[in-house]
Homo-oligomer: A and B are copies of this chain.
Amino acid sequence: VGGGYVEQAQQHAKSRQALVRILLEQRKWPTDGWDDATIELFLKEISLMDSNNFMGNVGVGEREARVASRLVAQRHFGLGHGVGRSGDIAAIQPKAAGSSLLAQLTKRMLLDVVKLAGLQRMKACLLLPVATGMGMVMTLLTLRTLRPGAKYVVWPRIDQKSCLKAIFTAGFEPLIIENVLEGDELRTDLEAVAKIIEEKKAENIVCIMSTTSCFAPRAQDRVEELAQICKAHEIPHVINNAYGLQASKCTHSINEAMRIGRVDVVVHSTDKNLLVPVGGSILASHDPNLLDTISKTYPGRASGSPAIDVFITLLSLGSSGYAKLLAQRKHVYKYMKQKLQEFAAANGERVLETKHNQISIALSLDSFACKRKDMSFLGSMLFARNVSGTRVVTGVTTKEINGASFASYGAHYNEYPSVYLTAAAAIGMTSEDVDNFIERLQKVFVQFRKRLTQGLPEGEESRPKPETLLDEEEES
């Protein structure tokens, strides 16, 4: 094959290699996304840097990344050693230079991600190959070593099991701060926080664990004020920003909290913010040393899978692609709110006013002539019609979790005046999704009213009725 064609082809090959070289040298998140071919090429090159993929390698250890199934090897691009080393989840592995490189690059790009999302004051990120709940556990276990003797976690109530369980699993006791109702919104009771600190003494408190992303009508916690309290009392402040990286409202509040007060670690879910399968969490901090301590608290190696997913996704989107997704989400939120308001007006309901929650929207369900608890069936009807992710909160369930009892579980509040349905405008959603949702919601409203007046329409009995699906909030 001769002549200018090959030269031109080689020139193009070089421009791809340049992408790789720039990434390796600058360790910055590329602005423009890479195409899949370039990503796969790079993954292959990385994979071939791991010793198990060396030609002629002889492994005589107990852990040699041998993989029995071709299907399995293939889905990991030949990477088998996972991430981390016995003493440090972020350590370089001698046998796995490629895997280690991938992990390092991912970590560096994640710092660009959180900054792009608005967390300008962050100095470092740590990708833990466990989801948000366990990411919180690792944070708490690390704080224990730094505050031996402390045993309480101040925790403004949020009706998600994971974070509460994280407190118990880490061996601490939660000090539950009930929310206060302001208009339709549930907000942090700062006075109660101050009071309990005084009561239990700051030195006995491991941290305040606040929450930003949550289901309406709960608002994000007043993290600025909490950060000031933490600063004043020298109490660590951990923020559960599970899916709040996608919402500038959340990130800007946290950034401001860091400016005027104390924030130690902010925990995020990878799947909810970066559109990857469940499996990782991003810890961000202004203090690289603290993240190092956490990574050294993690014993042994871990799955490299979450890092691979994040790595591919970040390269595929580029920062411009992610910025576009963020902008689209903001637009979809507004669109969904407007459509739900129109729907509410036409159906004798209303959209609850929750301006401190820019992801989740709650629609009242007060116009139906039935018992509160029976309203949950409406959620099941939606699920049976392929609408997933809504929740009907009836406020009648009481739940006990590790000894703590919660009235109106799911409502974040003991006596919320309305029954309501929540829906979220999350990243990756489209306005077409909103249209389909509203259309099916309308049908379900009609059918449910009919059902209430006439009994169940024919044929309905035989449909799957996963009624218990939607009693409580789900989280990871």
Contact = CB atoms under 8 A, between A and B. Distances in A.
Interface string A145-166: 1000000000000001111011
A342 to B, nearest CB: 16
A437 to B, nearest CB: 5
Contacts of A300: 131-134, 161-162, 165-166, 475-476
B104 A1 contact: yes
A388 to B, nearest CB: 5
Contacts of A469: 5, 94
B137 A299 contact: yes
A97 B60 contact: no
Contacts of A62: 213, 215, 242-243, 272, 359-360, 389, 424, 426
B50 A97 contact: no
Nearest to A469: B94
For this chain, the copies found in one complex come to 4
Contacts of A81: 277-278
Interface stretch (A119-127, A192-200, A311-319, A347-355): A311-319
A116 to B, nearest CB: 15
B303 A466 contact: no
B243 A63 contact: yes
Interface stretch (A68-76, A248-256, A369-377, A442-450): A68-76
A55 B385 CA distance: 11
Contacts of A13: 45, 48-49
Interface string A88-112: 0000111101101100100000000
A14 to B, nearest CB: 10
B388 A64 contact: yes
B1 A97 contact: yes
A231 interface: no
Contacts of A11: 464
Interface stretch (A35-43, A183-191, A257-265, A411-419): A35-43
A355 to B, nearest CB: 18
14 contacts: A5-B464, A8-B466, A36-B69, A37-B47, A61-B391, A68-B325, A69-B275, A72-B277, A82-B271, A95-B388, A131-B301, A133-B299, A161-B300, A303-B303
